[in-house]
């Protein structure tokens, strides 16, 4: 895609370790002492996050629940914003649209996230979630974060 040149202009300012430490400290409700949701990789213009889905993330039919996947997509956007702007705890989601495409059993889900636009007050991103032995896309989300003006 021709926008890659542009995306490379985005330079991460935090490492994965810094991101995970920030999440643990500022957002303890996310994992409630576990490490279910984690950032696993940061790159210019995007990141990868993961969910280790267990029993408590399931819904009827023994499939990973919508809220659990929504949370992964949302965290992916948050990590995109944090890693490229710095530790701004108050960036907030204003919109998120998610399509659920395939059922997934308990296990690891990766969310591959791209920054589609990083503007002065809004960041648009998407998250493609893959799981299962064939790493098929199980859900896809697009969202917008409002970035505090103090940036």
Q: Please say which residue, 35 or 95, places its beta carbon nearer to a copy of itself.
A: 95
Q: Please say which residue, 11 or 55, places its beta carbon nearer to a copy of itself.
A: 55
Considering the complex, what minimum distance in angstroms separates the CB of residue 46 from a copy of itself? 12
Q: Please say which residue, 11 or 119, places its beta carbon nearer to a copy of itself.
A: 119
Q: Please say which residue, 17 or 28, places its beta carbon nearer to a copy of itself.
A: 28
Considering the complex, what minimum distance in angstroms separates the CB of residue 1 from a copy of itself? 7
Considering the complex, what minimum distance in angstroms separates the CB of residue 98 from a copy of itself? 6
Site residues (CB under 8 A) for a copy of itself? 1-3, 5-6, 26-27, 29-30, 32, 55-61, 63, 65-68, 70-71, 74, 89-90, 92-103, 112, 116-117, 119, 121-122, 124, 126, 128, 130, 134-137, 140, 142, 144, 146
Q: Please say which residue, 17 or 26, places its beta carbon nearer to a copy of itself.
A: 26
Rounded Cα distance between 54 and 10, Å, is 34
Considering the complex, what minimum distance in angstroms separates the CB of residue 96 from a copy of itself? 6
C-alpha closest to that of 75 among 106, 31, 137, 122: 31
Considering the complex, what minimum distance in angstroms separates the CB of residue 45 from a copy of itself? 11
For the chain, give the DSSP string. Answer: -TTHHHHHT----S-HHHHHHHHHHH-TTTTTTS-SEEEEEEETTEEEEEEEE-GGGEETTTEE-HHHHHHHHHHHHHHHHHHHH---TT-EEEEEEEEE-S---SEEEEEEEEEEEE-SSEEEEEEEEEETTTTEEEEEEEEEEEPPTT-
**Residue 67, C-beta contacts closer than 8 angstroms, at least 6 positions apart:** none
């Amino acid at each position: 895609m021709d926008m890659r040149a542009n995306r490379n202009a985005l330079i991460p300012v935090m490492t994965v370790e810094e991101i995970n430490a920030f999440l643990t400290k500022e957002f303890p409700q996310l994992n409630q002492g576990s490490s279910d949701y984690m950032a696993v990789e940061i790159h210019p213009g995007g990141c990868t996050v993961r969910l280790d889905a267990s029993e408590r993330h399931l819904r009827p039919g023994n499939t990973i629940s919508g809220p659990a996947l929504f949370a992964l997509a949302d965290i992916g956007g948050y990590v995109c914003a944090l890693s490229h702007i710095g530790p701004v705890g108050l960036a907030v989601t204003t919109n998120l649209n998610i399509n659920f495409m395939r059922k997934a059993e308990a296990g690891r889900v990766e969310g591959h996230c791209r920054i589609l636009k990083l503007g002065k007050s809004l960041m648009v991103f998407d998250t493609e979630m893959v799981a299962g032995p064939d790493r098929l896309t199980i859900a896809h989300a697009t969202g917008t974060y409002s970035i505090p003006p103090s940036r």
